[in-house]
Structures are given as C-alpha cells and as structure tokens.
Structure 1
Amino acid sequence: MSFCKVLTAASLATALSVSIASAATFTIDAGDVTVSGGDFCFPGDCKLKGSIKGGSFDLNTVGETASLSDLFDWRVLTTSRWATGAGKYSVNATLNFSSPSLASSSASGYAGFITLLGSVSGGVLAWTSGSGIIDFSEGYKLSYTLKDALRLGSGTQTTTGASFTLEETPAPVPLPASALLLLGGMGVLGGLRAKRQRTA
C-alpha cells in the first residue's frame, strides 16, 4: 500500500467519525395563557380560559418544518348552561421548552367570543406578536408562527396551533473515536516507513 493510499484512508476514517448533531426532539411544556378583558353573559357569568396543551416534535435538518395543530386549548366557561353573551380579551402566552434544552419565548394578541344559549359559539384569535426565533443552548435555532383563528360552531371549546422551522443546528462535533482512528492511521504510516528503511 502506497503512502498516499494510507494517508487517504486515515483521512477518510477521521472524516467519517465526525458526528453532525442535527436531529433533535423539541418538547413544549403545558401551561396557562394569561387572559384579561371584559365579558357579559346572561343568565350567569362567562369567561374565556386559554391553556397550552404542550407537545413534542422531531426536526432533523435545517429548513424542515413541524406543526402542532392543537397546541392551544380555548374554552368559554359559563355558570349557566343557557348563558348568552360575549367577551373581548388580550391574551399573553409563554412557550416553555424543556428539550433539547430549557428555552422560552412569549407571544401576545387578542381574542373574543360570542355564545348563544351555551350551545353555538363564535370566536376570533389574532396574535399581534405571534412569531419569533428561539435559541437553545446547544446551538439549535427554531423559528415559530402561532396560528390565528376565526371559528363558528357548536359548543364552547376549540383549539389552535403553531408551526415550527429548524433554522440552525450545532456545529459538527468530533467523536472520541476519531482521535483513535487518527492515531491508528499514524501508526500504520510509521510501520510503513520502518519497513521501507529495512528493505532499503
């Protein structure tokens, strides 16, 4: 085996031993949405309650996108099954990630609803700051967009979602095995040199 072939083999082994840590599982924790505003219903009272249901998704390569269609849960809470009325609110939510590392981002907007006899309801949700970038300590960077909604139907509950795109991954990190492969390649080179000196 020639010197060039051995050197090429050692370089290839070292390159193959480099791991690009791009794949990751992103997990959003469940939590509450802060809702403030005014409402009026009769008979009884009513109010809007929002919550983050949480969820997980995997992204492997830069530019890949994932969606959570039911990330948020919205309910009109009434004290009477015959309640009829409306409400208008400002909403604030914080997305707290527990993996691949702790990270968070906040969003705000407004929401409103009407309900008729607690059986037919309509509502609107509009995020005024519902997109952004989240940086993770490992080097991942994630962009997100929260979905607006305009709904009308039976019941007093609905869900809304969000989409996420992987913008950046950590830089390649060499595995410990690469050092051993490099040393092994150098050992082969040394052995070949010694063999040439003996035969010369």
Structure 2
Amino acid sequence: MKRVKIFLLLFTLCCALTACGTKPADDVPPPDDETSAVDIEWFNTEFFNVGSGVCMTNMLLSSYYDTAADIDLYELFYNGPTGIQEEVTEAEQTAIGPVAFEHYPIKTQRTEMDAFLQEYLGVALDETNKKNLDQFIYLEEYDAYYLLHGDTNFQRCTVTSLEQNEDGTIALTYEKESGEKGIVTLKGSKGSYQFVSNKEA
C-alpha cells in the first residue's frame, strides 16, 4: 500500500513540475511586430517582385522623386509600359531610322503611359514634369515613344520596414539588388496603393 501511495505521490509531483515548464498556447503573446511582418511579406511578394520578369511596381522605384510629377519617365518606362516587349512594325522601324534595325525598339504608346501614370501615381502624363521624356524617340503618326537599347534597369527589391504615417500614408524602407536603399511613400487607392514619393534612404 505504501508503494502505491509513494508511486501516486511521485506521479503527481512529476505532473506538477512538468506543468510549471509549459504555458497554454492561448496565453503566449504574439510578437510585437507580427502585423508589420505580415504586411512586409505581402509587399515583398504580392506588390513588388511579382512574377519572373519585369515587375512594373518595381520600376516605380527606379528613380528618386519628391512628388509623383517629378518621376523620371525614362527610367520608369525603360522596359516599356508592361515589362513585356510590344510588337513594332517594319514601318515604325523605318520611320525611326536604320538604328531601329540594329536594336529592336521598345515601344510605349502615349495612351499606355498615361494610363499607367494615372493608376499608380495619380497624375496624367501632361501633369508630370516630363522628366527625361526627351530621351525617347516620339513618332506622332503612331502617338508612341520608343527606346533603343539591349539591356534592362529592372531590379528586385526587399522591403525591410514599414511605418504608418499620421496622414494615412505608409512609408516602406527597401533595398535593391544593387544595395541601393530608399524610402517609398504610398497611399491607399481603390483597394491598392499609389506612389506619393520615393526618396534615398
């Protein structure tokens, strides 16, 4: 009988000691930055760096600008308006000149440029300062802009921090593949975001 009592006592003691070393899952507080971490992951995978090719939201980080109107259009549309090369007719190549047969032109229609700017920056082409727009070849008969090059300025990025501003905008600190760092400010628009500014960090 004593052996049974001793066994029960030891069993109870072991259970008590084990319980002291654990904590119910419901009582474990989540990390202080759990929400920010989730948001950062969304921006890194669902807003930037989407797909295996050129992601156009990344292209909005290709230059620094204090306001949407100051964005560098040459850097922004260096790879075209979608990141996918559009077909250019032989007539267009002829109008551009012999060099167009050496480097296949990258085409951006004015309407595409205008639509992209309004969607992601909230400004029309004519409302921008048209920074470096003169770097394009413009053909009036096609109402389109062309660039001639064989490389890309596209870079993936990693958002490292997120800050909510009092005015409702959010500031994302990021780093590009080249090591270049910046702070981009976004505002909510129609279920997504528009770019307000992009400044050097």
The TM-score range, normalised by the shorter chain, is under 0.3
TM-score (norm 2): 0.24
Structure with the bigger percentage of helix: 2
TM-score (norm 1): 0.24
Structure with the bigger percentage of strand: 1
Q: Return the structure number with greater relative CO, CA threshold 8 A, min gap 6.
A: 1
